[in-house]
Structure 1
Amino acid sequence: MAGNESTGLKKTEISVSPCTSSEPECSTAAAAQSVEEKRKSRLERLRNLKLARNEARKLNRAEVVEEDRKKKLPDNWENRKKRAEWELSEIEKRKQCEAEGEDYDRVKLLDVSAVEAETKERAKRRKKNPDMGFSTYEEASIRQNQRLVKQIKPDMEAYEKQREELGNETFYATVNTILPGKVKDTPEGIQRLVEDLERQKDKAKKFRRRRFYDENKDVDYINERNSKFNAKAERFYGKYTAEIKQNLERGTAV
C-alpha cells in the first residue's frame, strides 16, 4: 500500500536558486557587478567628453587662426576678391565669345533687361554729378550752371560767324572789355531763356519746404528749445489745461 502510494505520487521538480544557500553573498556579488557596470559606463562617458573637448579645442584653434588671418588682410579684401573673380569670369567669357566669332558686348547685353540698364545709367549719372543736398547758395548755383551747360546745343556755324564779326578781342571778352552795344542776342536765344525761366518757375511751385513753425499759430515760446518743451507739455497736459488757458486769454481767470 505504501509502495502504491509512493508510485502514484507525481514527481515534481523544484528549481532552487544557486543563492538559496547563501543569500547575503549573492546580493553582495550582484551589487559589486552593478557598481562595476556603472564605473565602466562613467569611464566611457568621460572618454567621450574628453574626445569632444579635444575636438572643440581643435575647432577653436582653427577659428582663431582664420580670424587672425582675416584681420591681417586689408579692409576691402572681400570686395577686391569678388572684383578679381568677376574680372576673371569676364575674361573667360570674352575669350569664349571670340573663339565662337561673336561680339561679347552684344552677347552681354542680351542678358540685361531695359529696367536694369536704365537703373545702371541713372547710377552712373549720379556718380558723375552726385546730389549732396543743399549746403550753400554758391554750391546750388554751381550745380544749376552745370545743368544748364549740359543742356546747351551749340551751333558751330553761328559760333564761327559771330567770332569773325566781333573779332578775338571782343569775342574772348575780359574784365576790361566793353560789351554793351557790340553783342546782340538773337530772338531764338531770348526765347530759350524765357522757356528755361518758365520751367524753373514750374519746378519751384512743386517744391514744398517743410516749415519749422506754423505762421498762423500763436507764438508762445522764446527760442527753439522752449518751443519743443511747450509742444511736449501741450501733448501730455493740453486737454487738462485747455479751460485754464482759455480763461487766461479771456481775462476771466479766478
Structure 2
Amino acid sequence: MGNPEKPSDAVVGAEGEGATTEVESTKEKSTMTMEERKAKLDALRKKMHASSKANRQSLVEESARQKINAREAARLERQRALAETLRTKADAEERGEDIERAKNWEYTIEENDEWEKKLARKKRRADFEFHDDAHAARRRYKKDLDHLKPDLEAYNRQKEIALGLGPGSLITGFNPTQGASSSQLLPTSQQQQLAAENLYRDANTLIYGDNKPTEEAIDRVVGKINRDVDKKSKFSRKRNNEEEGDITYINEHNRVFNKKIARYYDKYTAEIRASFERGTAL
C-alpha cells in the first residue's frame, strides 16, 4: 500500500501543469510565422464582414416586411371602404332610393350649412385676378382672419369683471338666467363699471388708446409681419445680381454673354449706342 499524496503536493502539481501549458501555448504563438498571422487576421476580417452583411440583410428584410404590412393594411382598408360603399349603393337601388340623398341623412343641418359656406368661400377665393386695390385688400383681410386665434380666456375674464361674476363663471359654462339674478349681473363697483365701459364701448365713450397689449400679443404681431416680409421677398421678381438699367437679354445665359461682350466692346460702341438712343444715328 503506497503512501497517499499530500494536498499541498497535488496543488503544486496542478499549478505546475498549468504553467507548463501556458508556456507551451506562448511558444506556439511565438513560433507562428507572419504569413500565418496574416491569414488568421484575414479570416477574422472575413468573419466580421460576413456577420455585418448578414445583420444588414436581416435589417433590410425586416424593414421591407414592415412596409409591406403597412401597405397591405392600407390596401385592405381601401377595399373594405369600397365594398361598404358598393353594398350601401346596392341596398339603396333595391329600395328605390337615391344614394346621395341617403348619404346626406348622415349630416346635421349645421354641418350642411357649414359645408355650403365652405364651398361658397372656396368659390369666391378661386378668383385670383386683380380687380382693384380694395378687392386685393379684402382678400388679404379674409386670409388674415383665417389665421386669427382670439384669446377667449382673457375675454371671458374681462367679461366676468364687467358682469360682476365670480372668477371662472363663464369658462365653466355659467348660465346667468339660472345661477344669478339680474341685480347681481349689473356692475356694482367702480372697477366693474370701468370694465363694462372697456368691454362695451360705443360712440359716447371717452376712453381711447388705453389698451396695453401683452408680450405674447406683440410677439404674435411681429411674427406675422416677419412672415409677410419673408413671403413678399420670395415672390419678388428682382434678381439680386441684376444691375439697374435696360434689359438687353432674353435669358440668364444671354445676360452673361452680353455682360462679357460689354466688358470688351462697350468703350468702342458707346458713341453708336448714344446715337441710337438720341435717334440721330446714320
Interval of TM-score (by shorter of Structure 1 and Structure 2): 0.3 to 0.5
Answer 1 or 2: higher relative contact order, Cα 8 Å, separation at least 6: 2
Q: TM (normalized to structure 1)?
A: 0.35
Select the structure of larger CA radius of gyration: 1
